[in-house]
Structure formats: structure tokens, C-alpha cells
Structure 1
């Protein structure tokens, strides 16, 4: 299992680690990872891996077996040997934009309290698909409410519950298309706000900003109809 530094320390941009293995496809498995592995609609991180005498660009990261994180090189170049110490460096600007978009999508799910049937995050925008028979009547009002929530600068924190506790509280799960990460006996919840100011609590394995004020201004794109009752709402970083 890879130590998930991207989760315990999402603002960490670099880290030393050690190569545990190579995959048959040319991926690199390290003991710890600041690279977020693709999942839950959030892309895998990119950046660099360097070691004494070498360096390689990392195009993305993906999930491996048993909690491992596999770094995928951008080109088929020589890999650092197994056991060698390495230095990981994130493309921080790209990752931070993913964090801003991801947290903004959680805010959108607060303002549109309908089942989420899909979602995707990019560096400049994100979208959620809702089981929504009719589109919102006033898009300008929805955009204003979204920016007002972000501007409240609410704290974004995490907590953990057991899988049994999640099963006893199915209402915590908003997303129908992505199941909460399981298999370790516990599930991570992301909370926005605290105490009387808490506005959201839901299972999530992705990376988020520490406060909603860090998201910045948002622009709501057009609404697209995707199927009989599905509608797609897209938000853009201003």
C-alpha cells in the first residue's frame, strides 16, 4: 500500500519516497505519493520524478492493486531502479485548480439538492449531472448563490466513519454513479462548514481547498439535457 500524502497533506507539493516496484506497462510504484490517482471524476496528478542521475515527467497517476498508486511516465524512458530514493514534484498549479473545482462542485450539490448521476473535474471547469426533470428557473440567481457560498470562506475538513456507520446513513451519499471508496473498514467524509454553519457532509476521496474562499469567482455555464431526466450543469473558474 502507498502512503497517501495527497490525502493527509493535500498542500504538499514535493516529497521524498522510494521505488517499490515497476509495473509491466512501465509504471512506477512508490512507498508514498503526493500524486493523486485518477478517481471519482478527478484527474490524476502530473509532475516530475527525479533521482540521482535521472528525471522523468509524470503524465498522470492511477490506482493500483491493494491501495497502491502507480505513476505513469509521459514517455518510455529509463525508470529509477527498485529501492532507489526519488523526489516527487507536483504540477501544483494544475492540482490546485482541481482542488478549487472539486470543492466548488460540492457547493453546487448543496444548492441543487438532487441525486447526482455523474461528474467530472478539469483544471478550468467541472460539471455535475443531476437527476433533474426540469432545469433551474433562474440561472443567474443560482450563480449568485454559488459565489455567495464560496465567499463565506467556510472551512473544509475531513472526518472518518466506519463502513457500517455509512451503511446506517445512506443519505450521506449524493452521487449515484460513484460509490464511496471502501475496503479499508472506514470511509472518509468531507465537511464544509462547522457547527451551525455546516452546509455539507459527504463521502469523498478527492483533494479539496482548506476554505471555500480559496475557490475564487465562479461562472455557471449552460445547462445541457443528457437523457430523459438528466441535466448537466457546468461551472467555470473565473
Structure 2
């Protein structure tokens, strides 16, 4: 296990930790990092810290200069002292909905195989912006294809390659607006499906469900014109 517990085990709902520092703005740094920090279109996790009978609500998490998560208190309150042993607890329902939507957006990039120019994840909804001069001809067919990938209950796994290997395979990068995480000279890949069943492989540092069936039914929302070359495609958990 590394200091990034959210990456090592996306299903960990709570975990012990130790306060290792603070930021000038009042953020708390706890290791190992259970809370996912805002990045790649995915919001930071919320939840709370518990120690010595006290409880500190956490509104979100952002990435610090050292790559660790900085926990942002939801309200002014006494912080746990440096060195304190705490229990980190996620708002699991919110995190899990982020995971479901994030994996669903990877599937959306499969059924719409066009360059992605932006994206956003929320708890239950999400969207991708595509380099798409003309709108799709058949929305119903797109929604059916998306839900078919969900229903196939494909395994979601990860792999790692070097930055040099990524540079030699630029086609792995679908998102033009987000740079793949390159910490430590390695890049994390998220794979959907395996072997002949593989449907997607792309760099990603976010949290995902273990199988596509866990996403549940999806609805295709509005397809918005965002300029001459761009369309925004919205999805939602049904």
C-alpha cells in the first residue's frame, strides 16, 4: 500500500490515519490518504475525521504540493493536533456515485469514439465534451449501446506503464484537456474488459467501480452545442 489509499483501494470507506501537517489555509494532511483530491474532472471526497471523541466535517479534498490530499474543513473548528491518530470516514454514498459516473464516462468515450475536449463528474450525473461538429443521428441507439456495455458486467482493472511507453502510444490519451497523471515516471491505465472482451484502455487517476454492472442503468441527457466543433453529452444514473 502507498500513501494514496483511495488509489490502492477505491472501496475503503474508512481508515485510520495520522495527521502529518497543515496548510496555511487551514487544510489538514492525513496519511494514508483515504480522501480523493479534486482532479481530472472528479470532485474531491467529503466526509469527516474522528479523534478523541471529536469530529471534524470535511467538505472536500484538494491535492497538495507533495501530491497528498489536503482535507478542507466544512466549517471553522478545532483541528486535530499534528501527530494525532484519527479515523478517516468517507461520505461513501457520494464517493460511490462518483465512481459509477466516472466509469460510465469511460464507456461513453467508447460508444462515441471521438476526441474528448472536457468533462465533469458529479454525484449521479456527468458529461463529456467531444470534438463533434454534427450531433449524433440516433440518441436512442447511443443510450442502448451505453447500457449494453453496463449490462455486460465487464471487469474494470488497472495497469501501469512508463511515461516513455505512454509517449510512444499517444492514442491511449482520449482527453485533450486533461494531462495524464505522470507521478514517479509511471502512468496508471484503467482497463475495461479483458482479453477479447476489452473495450477501453486509457490513462486515469480517478476512482472506479470494479465491474460495469455496478454502474446501473444510465440515461442519456441533453446533447448541447458548445461551439462550431464541440458537443456536450450529458448522462445520469437512472
Query: TM-score of the superposition, structure 2-length normalised?
Result: 0.98
1:18-37 to 2 correspondences below 5 Å: 18-37=18-37
Unaligned residue ranges in structure 1 (runs of 5+)? none
- Map Cα deviations across residues 128-155 of structure 1 (whole Å, 9 max, x no partner): 0000011110000100110011000000
What residue in structure 2 maps to residue 196 of structure 1?
A: 196
> Whole-Å Cα distance in 2 between the matches of residues 63 and 204 of structure 1?
15
> Whole-Å Cα distance in 2 between the matches of residues 67 and 121 of structure 1?
21
1:1-238 to 2 correspondences below 5 Å: 3-238=3-238
Secondary structure of the 1:66 match is: coil
Alpha-carbon offset, residue 227 of structure 1: 1.0
Between 1:45-54 and 1:8-17, the stretch displaced more is 45-54
> Whole-Å Cα distance in 2 between the matches of residues 34 and 185 of structure 1?
23
Alpha-carbon offset, residue 30 of structure 1: 1.0
> Whole-Å Cα distance in 1 between the matches of residues 128 and 97 of structure 2?
17
Is the 8 Å Cα contact of residues 117 and 177 (structure 2) preserved in structure 1?
Answer: yes
Between 1:66-75 and 1:169-178, the stretch displaced more is 66-75
Secondary structure of the 1:167 match is: helix
Is the 8 Å Cα contact of residues 29 and 71 (structure 2) preserved in structure 1?
Answer: yes
> Whole-Å Cα distance in 1 between the matches of residues 66 and 17 of structure 2?
18
> Whole-Å Cα distance in 2 between the matches of residues 214 and 53 of structure 1?
35
Alpha-carbon offset, residue 184 of structure 1: 1.2
> Whole-Å Cα distance in 2 between the matches of residues 23 and 141 of structure 1?
49
Secondary structure of the 2:130 match is: strand
Alpha-carbon offset, residue 127 of structure 1: 0.0
- Map Cα deviations across residues 114-172 of structure 1 (whole Å, 9 max, x no partner): 00000000001000000001111000010011001100000000000000000000000
> Whole-Å Cα distance in 1 between the matches of residues 16 and 222 of structure 2?
43
Is the 8 Å Cα contact of residues 33 and 68 (structure 2) preserved in structure 1?
Answer: no
> Whole-Å Cα distance in 2 between the matches of residues 197 and 31 of structure 1?
37
Deviation >6 Å, runs of 4+ = none
> Whole-Å Cα distance in 2 between the matches of residues 125 and 119 of structure 1?
11
Secondary structure of the 1:145 match is: helix
> Whole-Å Cα distance in 1 between the matches of residues 184 and 140 of structure 2?
42
> Whole-Å Cα distance in 1 between the matches of residues 95 and 29 of structure 2?
20
> Whole-Å Cα distance in 2 between the matches of residues 26 and 66 of structure 1?
16
> Whole-Å Cα distance in 2 between the matches of residues 99 and 124 of structure 1?
10
